[in-house]
Every structure is written in C-alpha cells, then in structure tokens.
Amino acid sequence: MPRILVIDDDAAIAEIVCINLEMAGYEVNQSPDGIQGQAMAIQIQPDLIVLDLMLPKVDGYTVCQRLRRDERTSDIPILMLTALSQTQNKVEGFNAGADDYLTKPFEIEELLARVRALLRRTDRIPQAAKHSEILNYGELTLVPERFEAIWRGSTIKLTHLEFELLHCLLQRHGQTVSPSDILREVWGYDPDDDIETIRVHIRHLRTKMEPDPRRPKYIKTIYGAGYCLELQNDREEEKSSVS
C-alpha cells in the first residue's frame, strides 16, 4: 500500500485530502507545519508528499528545497497543493523541486489523478526501461536504472521528470512534440491550457545540456507547436566533418 504524507496547516482541507486518499487505498500520514513535515518525511520515507506552500514556521518552498537536497528524500515525488495560482508561484514551486502543482479549490478526482500519475514514477526503473524503446542517439544515451544521461562523454544526473521528458523527446527525435502529448506521456494526465509546467522542466534540461541555454541548439522550441530534440548521429557528424 503506497504511503502518502500530507503537509498542510488547513485542518479542513487536510482532513478532506486525507480521507479521500485513504478511501482510494493509500496509507496516509499528516503534518500541520513545515518543520514537523520535513522530519516526518525523513522518518517514514513516504512514496509521495502532498505539500502546501503557505505553512507556519517554514514555508513549502523551503521544505521542498530541503527535501530535494537530502539524499534520503530527494527522489520522493512532491505535489504542491496551494491557493497561489499565479504563474510565478508555479515557476518558483517547480524551481524548488516540485513534480506537480495543483491549486485550491480543486476537485478530488483531479487530486487523485495527479497522485496516481506521480506514483507511476516511484518505481526505481522508469517507464523507459520497461519497453524496447530508443535509449540512445548520437552522443546521447539514457541510463534508466540510474536516471542519468550520458551526454557528449559526460554523465548528467536527471530528476525522474527530466528523465521522462528527455525520453519522450528522444522517442520522436527530429519531430515536434506538442505540449498535449508531453503532458499525457510524462505527467500522465489530460492536458489543460497551462504549459508552464513543461516550460520550467525544459529550461532545467537546457541548463544541463545546452552550451548556452538561452540559445538552445539541441532542445528547440517550435513556437505554437511544441518542442523538438535535434541531435546529430555518428553518420551525420562524419558528413559534417568531411564537408
């Protein structure tokens, strides 16, 4: 039975969330503040954390950053649950290390859908390793067992979401992948009009892979259409060097 830790100081909302998660078959623990919540996360090692941003003592951004820096909790999926709905709040949440972001008020079914999608990635071996799919092209090789990429001779450590996103683009190398397809495949739920989630993680990938992230040459934005991963394979590189 997957264990979920809910960190939220709003007693009414926390109760609703906990009850519905338990009814859905999860084991649930709850904390009313950031300090206790961080300690509980380290102690019980949950499979997923539902984290409110506006917390007493320590805010959710700080808690998320601390959990990501601690190797004992760095891989635990984190769903931010908050009343803050501005784009900048979402960007800050993702930059702090959140995997997904759900604003209050919310539908319980939407919460459960997000939880199921995040728990899909709690396996040590991601989706890419469960099928016979493309795991390398040119100078890029994905290593599912360690959530790493070998890129141009160097090893890059990726988060679970970064790995799944890069894998999604690699499967369609040279093709434009729409935000809707990315959300369905990587996040596991039907798309909405907000693609800020994708933009933030694309930005993180570019920081790790691009010589100049502000002028990407490998992970390209196709305006109005989506994103495209463009690499050279060995033969293309040989032709380029000859010419």
Q: pLDDT digits over 81-108, tens only?
A: 887 766 777 778 888 888 888 888 888 9
What was the pLDDT predicted at 193? 55
- Percent of the chain exceeding pLDDT 70 equals 86
pLDDT at 241 exceeding the cut of 70: no
What was the pLDDT predicted at 192? 61
Tokens of 168: 């999604």
Q: Each residue of 167-186: pLDDT tens digit?
A: 999 999 999 999 888 888 88
Sign, CA dihedral 81-83-85-90, equals negative
Residue 228, φ and ψ in degrees, nearest 5: -140, 130
Q: Each residue of 214-230: pLDDT tens digit?
A: 999 999 999 989 999 99
Q: Is the distance from CB of 25 to CB of 50 less than 8 angstroms? A: no
pTM of the model: 0.71
Tokens of 198: 């994708």
Alpha carbon distance 159, 89 (integer Å): 21
**Three-class DSSP category at 173:** coil
Structural domains of the chain sorted by starting position, each given as residue range(s) with its CATH number in brackets: 3-123 (3.40.50.2300), 127-229 (1.10.10.10)
Full DSSP string of 202-239:
HHHHHHHH-SSTTS-SSEEEETTTEEEE----HHHHHH
